[in-house]
């Protein structure tokens, strides 16, 4: 059993830091070491006992120090795109061939915020202490990307019981627009832990459309904390299509700080084997006339586990808030589990907030109907599962991107779902 505490010597191995940064890292390390990986006694982790999961699956967790070598990339050919390649969390190459480069800044991440506090989520402290990679992307004002930007997140074969900590920040200037595909390709067959801290800022009237997609199922253990700041009139749409990891927790916080800002979060997952996935959201409505919309769909096979914890917070000044949250799950196996915890905390009196959560089995009458038309049982079930999940991808406007995603998802489904 791994008792994961990090010696302060490790920080000096990561790099030579200023006194201020070193102290910041040491302090955060203390915070983390006090608690370690969170267990189910922590309310936010009650469905995902990370301490138990890490202890069971890791005998050690080495900080990954070696500088990532250039990696061969299997570029997507289905649609034209700009790209950034991130290897084991580290920014390597990029190409903005369809854009006016003067409007774009991309560089390796350097932290300059050393205000530290004990975070509710100890993995944030862990990231602050150990983070040594990542990127900073900034789009200037009044610039709309002509083509989508694909960020290839590659994980190399040599990863084995390593921990990666990275920080990424994306800032989109006033009236600018970016479409982004976070595309994960994992070559490692071994266990490793990827701990990401993401910071996204949408200035006034900025638009971000983001798609999260895994190339295939993988044996990684992923945690991402994402903090998103939306200023006046900005729009953030996020599509999340995780294919299933051994462990995956997305802890997403959206702060609707400016009036008329909107966030739209949609997710579709097919979980199989012993996949464990949690999507935790916190939407903070902090200004009037903001909208948030969340739809999370899960299909769970074998012994997989899915969790959705969705919280909507409405501040007293945030009148005319329109907040919606829906979770739907289909359980294909008696051994699969889905936990859902919707939460509303509302201090304004003129708001529209609703939430719903359903979970159940595939509809028997639908299977029967399809079988009377010549499809066998497996085909009928696959068709129904695809139909259930495709509802999310179907709302993506670009044909080539939508088809690319649907094909990926359907392939994953066909590969994974043979037992029923």
Partner 1 sequence: MLEIKNLKASINNKDILKGFNLKILPGEVHAIMGPNGSGKSTLANILSGKEGYTISGDLKYQGSRLDEIPIDERAQKGIFLAFQYPTEIPGVNTSNFLRTSLNKVRKAQGKKELDALSFLKIVKEKSNELGMDEKMLSRQLNVGFSGGEKKKNEILQMKILDPNLIILDETDSGLDIDALKIVAEGVNSSRNSKKSFLVITHYQRLLNFIKPDFVHVLSDGRIIKSGTKDLAIELEKTGYKGIN
Q: Using the minimum distance from each CB to partner 1, give the nearer residue, 224 or 297.
A: 297
Cβ of residue 285: shortest distance to partner 1, in angstroms? 30
Q: Using the minimum distance from each CB to partner 1, give the nearer residue, 280 or 406.
A: 406
User: Segment 358-387, which members bind partner 1 (CB under 8 A)?
Assistant: 363, 365-366, 368-377, 379-380, 383-384, 386-387
Q: Using the minimum distance from each CB to partner 1, give the nearer residue, 65 or 378.
A: 378
Is residue 390 within the footprint of partner 1 (CB under 8 A)? yes
Q: Using the minimum distance from each CB to partner 1, give the nearer residue, 176 or 380.
A: 380
Residues touching partner 1, count (CB under 8 A): 23
CA 363 to chain centre: 30
Q: How far is CA 106 from CA 16, 177, 217, in A?
A: 23, 16, 29
Is residue 214 within the footprint of partner 1 (CB under 8 A)? no
Q: Using the minimum distance from each CB to partner 1, give the nearer residue, 323 or 367.
A: 367
Stretch that binds partner 1, among 70-78, 103-111, 338-346, 388-396 (CB under 8 A): 388-396
Cβ of residue 353: shortest distance to partner 1, in angstroms? 25
Cβ of residue 15: shortest distance to partner 1, in angstroms? 50
User: Segment 254-283, which members bind partner 1 (CB under 8 A)?
Assistant: none
Q: Using the minimum distance from each CB to partner 1, give the nearer residue, 77 or 364.
A: 364
What mask of x and - would describe binding to partner 1 in positions 286 to 315, judged by CB under 8 A? ------------------------------
Residues found in the chain = 420
| First CA to last CA distance, the chain | 35
Q: Using the minimum distance from each CB to partner 1, give the nearer residue, 110 or 372.
A: 372
Q: Using the minimum distance from each CB to partner 1, give the nearer residue, 50 or 330.
A: 330
Cβ of residue 27: shortest distance to partner 1, in angstroms? 50
Cβ of residue 377: shortest distance to partner 1, in angstroms? 7
Map the chain to HEC letters: CCCCCCCCHHHHHHCCCCHHHHHHHHHHHHHHHHHCCCCCCCHHHCCCCHHHHHHHHCCCCEECCCCCCCCCCCCCCCCCEEEEEEECCEEEEEECCCCCHHHEEEEECCCCCCCCCCCCCHHHHHHHHHCCECEEEEECCCCECCCEEEEEEEECCCCCCEEEEEEEEEEECCCCEEEEEEEEEECCCCCEEEEEEEEEEECCCCEEEEEEEECCCEEEEEEEEEEEEECCCCEEEEEEECCCEEEEEEEEEEEECCCCCEEEEEEEEEECCCCEEEEEEEEEECCCCCEEEEEEEEEECCCCEEEEEEEEEECCCCCCCEEEEEEEEEECCCCCEEEEEEEEEECCCCCEEEEEEEEECCCHHHHHHHHCCCCCHHHHHHHHHHHHHHHHHCCCCCHHHHHHHHHHHHHHHHHHCCCC
Is residue 420 within the footprint of partner 1 (CB under 8 A)? no
Cβ of residue 326: shortest distance to partner 1, in angstroms? 14
- Which of 21, 391, 402, 403 lies at the binding interface for partner 1 (CB under 8 A)? 391
- Which of 388, 405, 406, 417 lies at the binding interface for partner 1 (CB under 8 A)? 388
User: Segment 20-59, which members bind partner 1 (CB under 8 A)?
Assistant: none
Q: Using the minimum distance from each CB to partner 1, give the nearer residue, 55 or 390.
A: 390
Residues that bind partner 1 (CB under 8 A): 363, 365-366, 368-377, 379-380, 383-384, 386-388, 390-391, 394
């Amino acid at each position: 059993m791994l008792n994961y505490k990090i010696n302060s010597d490790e920080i000096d191995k990561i790099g030579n830091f200023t006194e201020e940064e070193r102290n910041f890292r040491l302090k955060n390390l203390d915070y983390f070491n006090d608690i370690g990986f969170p267990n189910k006694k922590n309310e936010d982790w009650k469905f995902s006992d990370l301490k138990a999961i890490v202890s069971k699956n890791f005998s050690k967790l080495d900080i990954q120090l070696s500088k990532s070598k250039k990696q061969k990339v299997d570029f997507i050919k289905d649609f034209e795109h700009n790209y950034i390649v991130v290897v084991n969390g580290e920014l390597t190459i990029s190409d903005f061939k369809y854009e006016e480069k003067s409007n774009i800044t991309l560089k390796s991440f350097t932290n300059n915020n050393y205000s530290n506090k004990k975070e509710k989520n100890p993995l944030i402290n862990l990231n602050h202490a150990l983070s040594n990679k990542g990127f900073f992307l900034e789009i200037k004002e009044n610039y709309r990307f002509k083509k989508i930007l694909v960020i290839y997140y590659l994980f190399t074969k040599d990863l084995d019981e390593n921990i990666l900590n990275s920080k990424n920040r994306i800032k989109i200037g006033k009236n600018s627009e970016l479409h982004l595909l976070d595309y994960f390709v994992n070559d490692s067959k071994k266990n490793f832990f990827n701990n990401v801290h993401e910071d996204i800022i949408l200035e006034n009237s900025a638009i971000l459309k983001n798609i999260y997609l895994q190339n295939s199922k993988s044996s990684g253990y992923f945690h991402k904390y994402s903090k998103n700041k939306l200023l006046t009139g900005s729009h953030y749409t996020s599509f999340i299509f995780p294919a299933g990891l051994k462990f995956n927790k997305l802890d997403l916080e959206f702060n609707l700080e400016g009036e008329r800002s909107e966030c739209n979060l949609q997710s579709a997952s097919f979980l199989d084997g012993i996949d464990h996935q949690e999507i935790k959201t916190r939407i903070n409505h902090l200004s009037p006339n903001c909208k948030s919309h969340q739809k999370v769909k899960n299909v769970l096979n074998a012994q997989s586990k899915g969790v959705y914890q969705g919280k909507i917070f409405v501040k007293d000044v945030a009148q005319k808030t329109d907040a919606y949250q829906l979770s739907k799950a289909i359980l294909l196996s008696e051994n699969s589990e889905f936990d859902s915890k919707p939460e509303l905390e509302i201090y304004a009196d003129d708001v529209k907030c609703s939430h719903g959560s359903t979970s159940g089995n595939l509809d028997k009458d639908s299977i029967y109907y399809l079988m009377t038309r010549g499809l066998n049982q497996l085909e009928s079930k696959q068709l129904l599962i695809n139909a259930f999940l495709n509802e999310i991808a179907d709302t993506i406007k670009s044909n080539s991107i939508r088809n690319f995603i649907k094909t990926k998802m359907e392939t994953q489904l066909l590969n994974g779902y043979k037992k029923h």
